Amino acid sequence: MRRVKLLIYGTISVGLACALLIVGGLILNRLPLSPPPGMGERLVSYLTRNVAETRQDSQFPELRLRHYEKAPGEMYEFVAEAVDALGWEVLSRDRRSMTITAVVRSRIWGFKDDVVIRVLKSPNGSSIVYVRASSGIGKADLGANTRHVMDLYERLEMNMR
């Protein structure tokens, strides 16, 4: 009987520790939870995906492609400045393809996440900034990659003021 109680208490303790790590991760990543598509879909995404990629039709507003009135070459410079200001480790910069590849350490466990940023030319000559952030480890990132995308966009907007 004593072994059964220890097993039950141990299981409960491990479960609580895991729950606290998950909640702590979500809080530390400062993620939006209530905006559309709603908390349920957001939690499922944060707890089951390890990639955040901007798309025109993303259900998450923070993961939609951003359009800027600046010419692509000028926008690429703003992106490079933003990446540097964020302190991300730049692996490559290719001005010809308007691509920057970087590594970002996640806040929670310090895992290395890969980030690729491309400045694309829109049909009217302005710029579109595409971002893909992905974790090399695990099947869920607790929203860390979404946070990387959000940090980049926030920094870009701050630098462009």
CATH number for 30: 3.30.530.50
**Per residue in 121-144, pLDDT tens?**
999 999 999 999 999 888 889 999
How many separate domains does the chain show?
Answer: 1
* Predicted pLDDT at 52: 97
Which amino acid belongs to residue 32? Answer: P
The C-alpha atoms of residue 73 and residue 84 are separated, in whole angstroms, by 17
Q: Contact, 83 vs 91, CB < 8 A? A: no
Check residues 15 and 119 and name the one with the higher pLDDT: 119
Task: Please give the average per-residue pLDDT across 106-134, as a whole number.
Answer: 93
For residue 62, which of 43, 42, 48 has the smallest C-alpha distance? 42
* Predicted pLDDT at 122: 94
Q: What is the mean pLDDT of the chain?
A: 90
The C-alpha atoms of residue 144 and residue 134 are separated, in whole angstroms, by 9
Q: Residue 139 CA to chain centroid, in angstroms? A: 14
* Predicted pLDDT at 123: 93
pLDDT confidence tier of residue 14, bands split at 50, 70 and 90: low
Which amino acid belongs to residue 1? Answer: M
Check residues 109 and 127 and name the one with the higher pLDDT: 127
pLDDT confidence tier of residue 24, bands split at 50, 70 and 90: low
* Predicted pLDDT at 20: 62
Which amino acid belongs to residue 28? Answer: L
* Predicted pLDDT at 4: 74
The C-alpha atoms of residue 15 and residue 111 are separated, in whole angstroms, by 22
Question: Is the confidence at residue 69, as pLDDT, over 70?
Answer: yes
* Predicted pLDDT at 137: 84
Q: What is the DSSP letter of 88?
A: -
Q: What is the DSSP letter of 71?
A: -
Which residues form the domain of 104? Answer: 2-159
The C-alpha atoms of residue 66 and residue 56 are separated, in whole angstroms, by 8
Residues in the chain: 161
